[in-house]
Structure 1
């Protein structure tokens, strides 16, 4: 007696992968150890720098203003952003199997993009805050109240969580029958969709549309805000006022350039045309290098932040002496 033919769904169930292999940066073991040391130091410095900004804003009552509260939350976000990818990358440098479960891969993928979306929102809020402070200084206290600041923080932390659910669910529901090798150091959606058994153009289009709408929309809002700020600064009568305003805006714009310059190259289209090596370099830049640079940019170009950090450092020295 011949057995009944297996239907398509049964085949997919039997062939569906339970784990992926993250190739990372293939090289000889000695170089893997070198990479581990380099990125471990980078990760530690990133955590230290952003934690220092967070502590400085919390400890110094003079920094309890909307601008610095947003900056504190942005630094907390950076800590979570790098933690969603770098620890797993470090573990892979010391591993020979490069193994990651299906659930773990998609969980890290979701939180990586969730925090990435939130970064865009917080950069928008910081641009809006600077616009109000410089272009509408008399109305600033009435508009940027504590309630509005709290609302922006809550919105910033929750909106990315909700917004990315749709593309995440669509990509995670694609059939993955093998191969299961991801030539990347993160569970990135483009190589994941390339591993799917079927070419789902609808999912690719929705994913691309979400990214394009979010990135271009937030970037235009930021650029328009700072264009108005620059026009207002140019009209300022005093050189001291111009210098302070330009210094603050230059810091923000530097962070915006670092973040958006790399992700626009990577994610606006479903097929970017970059080589695998270039995709890794671009992803490495905005997921590891940019969070390291942000605390340096904000602290070195901001007098109030430098003063607050010096106070914390002196306090720590006094405690150790005692």
Structure 2
């Protein structure tokens, strides 16, 4: 049906920063370096948490899945971006654009719920330490991860369907690095009220709800930390949560501005930059933040490198 409704429009053009042709090779090198760093860093996190028995806990099970998600997440957009930096033809097919957007939305939304699951894990570990193993069983951890993915899939089928059944009868140049919702809505030449209502409802459920669950978990965690008699104990407990708080702040801060701020021509370029932040830079920071700020991971990495040496 989507294909039949758009026989006149076979592809889109991803503009990116094509207005600066002298920067294309430099951008290719920088983004290639970032992509390799994302794969190596998150791949190493997955390997260490899988092979070291000391990291066999729900906390590292969630971290392993987050790292795998980051690799998939960036692989949806970055390879095509790298090709476009060097190619004169910066087109993406109509179907390819729809598929790219769908998987981008599903994986980004899954990360929202996965971050909420990690916050709940920290809440149980700090506020109910004696019941931690009983509550955070392997079965519950697996259900939280699979549920984070499956709950988003039908939501974004509707989202993408509503968007790509709109007529795009004007320009087909997308002012972005990849297929995203806001720049595509700007190209539609039909009423987009239904799309905006659905976007608001989906954003509320997928972005705001997990955020409030995270906030509620950390309100309980901070309350428990403040009741601890030992300053050293408070510092140690807070250190276990700081990495997660950093990632939540970076991810939610940039994504909220992009998807909840009013659309205008002035904000399009800002949102284009911010979208790079939460789709590319945060996956690169993930292994750095969790590894360099986590004593157990650093010990396991040191043992791994010692064995290799």
In structure 1, the partner of 2:167 is: 175
In structure 2, the partner of 1:8 is: none
Residue 112 in structure 1 maps to residue 104 in structure 2 = yes
Shift in Å, 1:233: 1.0
Shift in Å, 1:17: 0.7
In structure 1, the partner of 2:227 is: 235
In structure 2, the partner of 1:153 is: 145
1:21 alignment partner, SS class: strand
CA deviations 1:256-298 (Å, max 9, x no partner) are 0000000110102562664332121111111111111111111
Residue 202 in structure 1 maps to residue 197 in structure 2 = no
In structure 1, the partner of 2:272 is: 280
Deviates more, 1:152-161 or 1:140-149: 152-161
How far, CA to CA, are the matches of 2:303 and 2:75 in structure 1? 28
2:228 alignment partner, SS class: coil
Shift in Å, 1:229: 0.4
How far, CA to CA, are the matches of 2:82 and 2:184 in structure 1? 21
In structure 2, the partner of 1:140 is: 132
Residue 18 in structure 1 maps to residue 10 in structure 2 = yes
- Which is greater in Rg? 1
In structure 2, the partner of 1:266 is: 258
1:26 alignment partner, SS class: coil
Deviates more, 1:259-268 or 1:169-178: 169-178
**Residue correspondence of structure 1 range 1-322 to structure 2 within 5 A:** 16-269=8-261, 271=263, 274-317=266-309
How far, CA to CA, are the matches of 2:230 and 2:265 in structure 1? 49
How far, CA to CA, are the matches of 2:154 and 2:201 in structure 1? 16
- Give structure 2 stretches of 5+ with no counterpart: none
CA deviations 1:100-139 (Å, max 9, x no partner) are 1001111111111111000001000000000000011122
Shift in Å, 1:81: 0.7
How far, CA to CA, are the matches of 1:114 and 1:158 in structure 2? 9
CA contact (8 A) 1:108 1:187 kept: yes
Coordinate RMSD, CA, aligned:
1.8
How far, CA to CA, are the matches of 1:24 and 1:271 in structure 2? 18
2:13 alignment partner, SS class: strand
In structure 2, the partner of 1:6 is: none
Deviates more, 1:79-88 or 1:273-282: 273-282
CA contact (8 A) 2:225 2:238 kept: yes
1:100 alignment partner, SS class: strand
Q: How many positions carry a matched residue from both structures?
A: 307
Runs of 4+ with deviation above 6 angstroms = none
Shift in Å, 1:208: 2.3
Q: TM-score, normalised by structure 2?
A: 0.94
Q: TM-score, normalised by structure 1?
A: 0.91
How far, CA to CA, are the matches of 1:304 and 1:284 in structure 2? 31
How far, CA to CA, are the matches of 1:24 and 1:288 in structure 2? 15
CA contact (8 A) 1:205 1:270 kept: no
How far, CA to CA, are the matches of 1:14 and 1:158 in structure 2? 29
